[in-house]
Chains A and B, each alone.
Chain A
């Protein structure tokens, strides 16, 4: 399964499929709007590739790779080619 932690420049857009876990961390991720069906865009990462910066619901969110691994995604075609 592909996770949010694997997003990169080439595979920048994706749709969230599921979030693992029922602890505080998963709850926090979901409260911030990362729930199944939502679209996310990879914006970049800090030094050594961690944490990640993504965009969703019109705002920017940063999370660590370890946390992003809980989020399963399906990649979407890049913005330019998706059509209306």
Chain B
């Protein structure tokens, strides 16, 4: 029995590393499917944990967000430091660290390592991307590096699973390793200041005595965040806090005087240590080779060609999203429809059947329909991230986005939102700055997503005349385009306003690494068996790729996170709206039912297949639609519609349009079906289908204000509805995702309120101005 097997306790290990070092690939390779995600309370940082057993040792892994430095300036950045120092009550104290570094870029990666080593925890260094380093002719003396750092170094090539077993072994044994013996890289004068401050803090009875690492950081952090976070003495002891603050100021002044200004002293000291550590350990080729990345970047980040290629790429991605998703969406839609029909046919008519068919199946199905789009977008986002292009997209679009006060990193999330805001909101995780990220999340739902298309299509076809403007542009097309621009312009204004008010703050730096390009990890279990022999022939060391490459893994992980987190809320909202549309279900439809009974007797005496037979069948269907419409008009939602008529009247709407708008708050695309039922048509309309759309269009064109013969739908009314749908937050799924991503109920409520208010005001203006012109 090996000595390790004697440990029965779980060893808690944190994974840390720079962004773009393949940290999540390593985490996935270690954790497999056992990973669990959650949130730390109060911050927007995702918590990812997993447990595994190696050689009888149970390991509990905790994945920390990628970072270049452990220099917290905000609650989000503080999470990693708190976890590492065991200062979080909700996370078990970390007993060891695995630090993942990019072997081809050791110099900058060792900056973070130098901070991690000062935490005094046993550490394993995973030297990832050894293949990239080798390709560039970089030679690393691993044993010498181990000796100098005083920690175990494991070469890894995570995307091909090379070295993962060795890393697991090293992790299982890390508990027996002594923490690294560290000599501080800081100059003596700085260390003296740290000691003095430590003593001064010890003299005051603070709630907790910060560890040495945080005392160093207190001196180095000029933002004031840590000072506020760590130095509380409690009520009535402000002068004690004041004294420490004065001390910090004086210490910084003395250091600056001595030529060691804060915070520069840290970077200079640590990079000095890095050069010393790496000298003689890493050899780079004398002749700098023209790498793959060099050649690619000459075109892809070129100010003209790069921008053109980016634009072309985005067109291709969107083309793919819509053309691949289309057939799948039809399939799902058909499947849900058949399921509903099957359930309807096998259950007795009544509230339960209606709940299942019109509430649960239709409601959840309405969201499931968008899954192909969501998954395909996640696939492309994962692909762009994994090959290293995402940073280039941010680089190319930064100037454009900086006009709105955002950075280039907001571009892809906002662009994705034109297909669906859900992947858009989830893609904002690449934005480290909290204010930028929130602003992007809050305006993403203003982009006209694909669920708004059926509404635009229906109303434009019905009420916008087919005319050409200025000889070339079709009026219908122009109206469609202006709906998209309305969303964009509103987003620009809202983003600008948010950055000036609620999310005010200094412009965050746009100092971003452009990682080396690499082939995206697309390996997929069945194909691995086919490809493996070929790879083995080229590279004898190759191991079989992971069952699910990083790109697929991310797609599944994000897609599943959406279904899992948003699913329950969507179900709940669907049931509530169903109930509001179904109950009290006491409309007087006896005269209509009598008519049907009459027609059915007539049907029995008519020969099947004759024109009369079909005519009667059609009559029955039409009366059934009338009954459904009657029930809906007298439902609670219908009554709400009546009650809110004074509110929606200034928009040019009657109570029927009002109730349809209210019913579509869980998911905006249901408005077509709701309008259809209210106007006595079958609820199953496909706006792409000319004939089905034609029937609904005719019914809407014939509709009048009740009790008059004044037409209900005019061009200003149609425009006012479209404007309302363009701006309103009618998507429970998006709000659920905003809740998840911001980890608070405030932001989804804020989004809902501001968008609905804007939508109302804009629809009001559209109708009033439109009426003025048409009068």
**A→B interface (CB under 8 Å):** 19, 22-33, 35-36, 38, 43-51, 53, 57-64, 67, 79
**Bound-state Cα–Cα, A59 to B297, Å:** 12
Contact B402 A62 (CB under 8 A): no
Contact A50 B71 (CB under 8 A): no
Nearest chain A CB to B190 CB, angstrom units: 15
Contact B399 A33 (CB under 8 A): no
Contact B223 A59 (CB under 8 A): no
Contact B513 A32 (CB under 8 A): yes
Nearest chain B CB to A71 CB, angstrom units: 11
**What residues on B are CB-neighbors of A53 within 8 Å?**
297, 301, 395, 514
**Bound-state Cα–Cα, A50 to B396, Å:** 9
**Bound-state Cα–Cα, A32 to B513, Å:** 8
B302: Cβ under 8 A from any A Cβ: yes
**What residues on B are CB-neighbors of A29 within 8 Å?**
509, 511
Contact A46 B514 (CB under 8 A): no
Q: 5 closest A-B pairs (Cβ-Cβ)?
A: A30-B267, A60-B514, A25-B509, A57-B107, A31-B69
Nearest chain B CB to A39 CB, angstrom units: 12
Question: Would you list 28 pairs from A and B whose C-beta atoms are within 8 A, ordered by A residue?
Answer: A22-B222, A22-B262, A22-B264, A24-B509, A25-B506, A25-B508, A27-B222, A28-B511, A30-B263, A30-B266, A31-B69, A32-B513, A33-B108, A33-B271, A35-B271, A38-B271, A43-B301, A44-B298, A44-B302, A46-B398, A46-B399, A51-B395, A51-B510, A53-B297, A60-B516, A62-B398, A62-B514, A79-B288
Contact A63 B512 (CB under 8 A): yes
Of the 9-residue stretches B303-311, B326-334, B451-459, B759-767, which lies at the interface with chain A? B303-311
Q: Given A19-B264, A26-B263, A32-B68: A47 and B307 within 8 A (CB)?
A: yes
Please, which residue of chain B has its CB at the minimum distance from the CB of A56?
A: B108
B111: Cβ under 8 A from any A Cβ: yes
**What residues on B are CB-neighbors of A58 within 8 Å?**
104-105, 107, 284
Contact B268 A35 (CB under 8 A): yes
**Bound-state Cα–Cα, A29 to B261, Å:** 15
B338: Cβ under 8 A from any A Cβ: no
B73: Cβ under 8 A from any A Cβ: yes
**Bound-state Cα–Cα, A67 to B398, Å:** 13
Picked from A32, A38, A51, A60, the residue with its CB within 8 Å of the CB of B297 is: A60
Picked from A23, A27, A36, A62, the residue with its CB within 8 Å of the CB of B395 is: A62
**What residues on A are CB-neighbors of B303 within 8 Å?**
44-49
Nearest chain B CB to A58 CB, angstrom units: 6
Contact A43 B297 (CB under 8 A): yes
Total number of A-B contacts with CB less than 8 angstroms?
132
Additional 19 contacts, C-beta under 8 A, given A33-B111, A53-B514, A58-B104:
A23-B223, A24-B73, A26-B263, A29-B511, A30-B263, A44-B303, A46-B301, A47-B399, A48-B303, A48-B399, A51-B399, A59-B513, A59-B515, A60-B513, A60-B515, A62-B398, A62-B512, A63-B512, A64-B509
Picked from A23, A28, A36, A38, the residue with its CB within 8 Å of the CB of B222 is: A23
Picked from A22, A36, A60, the residue with its CB within 8 Å of the CB of B263 is: A22
**What residues on B are CB-neighbors of A57 within 8 Å?**
105, 107-108
**Bound-state Cα–Cα, A43 to B268, Å:** 25
Max chain B C-beta neighbours (<10 A), residue from A29, A33, A38, A62: A62
**What residues on A are CB-neighbors of B753 within 8 Å?**
none
B293: Cβ under 8 A from any A Cβ: yes
**Bound-state Cα–Cα, A68 to B579, Å:** 60
**Bound-state Cα–Cα, A48 to B304, Å:** 10
**Bound-state Cα–Cα, A14 to B71, Å:** 28
Contact string, B486-527, partner A, CB cutoff 8 A, digits 1/0?
A: 000000000000000000001011111111100000000000
Nearest chain B CB to A22 CB, angstrom units: 5
Q: Given A31-B267, A53-B301: A63 and B509 within 8 A (CB)?
A: yes
Please, which residue of chain A has its CB at the minimum distance from the CB of B222?
A: A22
Please, which residue of chain A has its CB at the minimum distance from the CB of B395?
A: A62
**Bound-state Cα–Cα, A30 to B268, Å:** 8
Nearest chain B CB to A75 CB, angstrom units: 19
**Bound-state Cα–Cα, A32 to B510, Å:** 12
Please, which residue of chain B has its CB at the minimum distance from the CB of A25?
A: B509
Contact B398 A24 (CB under 8 A): no
Nearest chain A CB to B315 CB, angstrom units: 18
Contact string, B372-415, partner A, CB cutoff 8 A, digits 1/0?
A: 00000000000000000001000110110010000010000000
**What residues on A are CB-neighbors of B408 within 8 Å?**
51
**Bound-state Cα–Cα, A79 to B304, Å:** 26
Contact A31 B73 (CB under 8 A): no
Picked from A47, A59, A60, the residue with its CB within 8 Å of the CB of B396 is: A47
Picked from B71, B222, B284, the residue with its CB within 8 Å of the CB of A31 is: B71
**What residues on B are CB-neighbors of A44 within 8 Å?**
297-298, 301-303
Within 8 A of A (CB), among B47-93: 68-69, 71, 73
**What residues on A are CB-neighbors of B261 within 8 Å?**
22
**What residues on A are CB-neighbors of B267 within 8 Å?**
27, 30-31, 33, 35
Within 8 A of A (CB), among B281-325: 284, 288, 293, 297-298, 301-304, 306-307
Picked from B264, B304, B399, the residue with its CB within 8 Å of the CB of A30 is: B264
Contact A61 B512 (CB under 8 A): yes
**What residues on A are CB-neighbors of B68 within 8 Å?**
31-32
**Bound-state Cα–Cα, A23 to B264, Å:** 10
**Bound-state Cα–Cα, A51 to B514, Å:** 12
**What residues on A are CB-neighbors of B107 within 8 Å?**
33, 57-59
Nearest chain A CB to B637 CB, angstrom units: 50
Please, which residue of chain B has its CB at the minimum distance from the CB of A50?
A: B399
**Bound-state Cα–Cα, A64 to B683, Å:** 54
Please, which residue of chain B has its CB at the minimum distance from the CB of A23?
A: B222
**Bound-state Cα–Cα, A30 to B271, Å:** 10
Within 8 A of A (CB), among B338-367: none
Contact A51 B222 (CB under 8 A): no
**What residues on A are CB-neighbors of B264 within 8 Å?**
19, 22, 26, 30, 35
**What residues on A are CB-neighbors of B514 within 8 Å?**
53, 59-62
Nearest chain B CB to A20 CB, angstrom units: 10
**What residues on A are CB-neighbors of B271 within 8 Å?**
33, 35, 38
Picked from A23, A38, A61, the residue with its CB within 8 Å of the CB of B511 is: A61
Please, which residue of chain A has its CB at the minimum distance from the CB of B304?
A: A47
**What residues on A are CB-neighbors of B515 within 8 Å?**
59-60
**What residues on B are CB-neighbors of A25 within 8 Å?**
506, 508-509, 511
Q: Given A31-B111, A46-B303, A47-B307: A67 and B506 within 8 A (CB)?
A: no
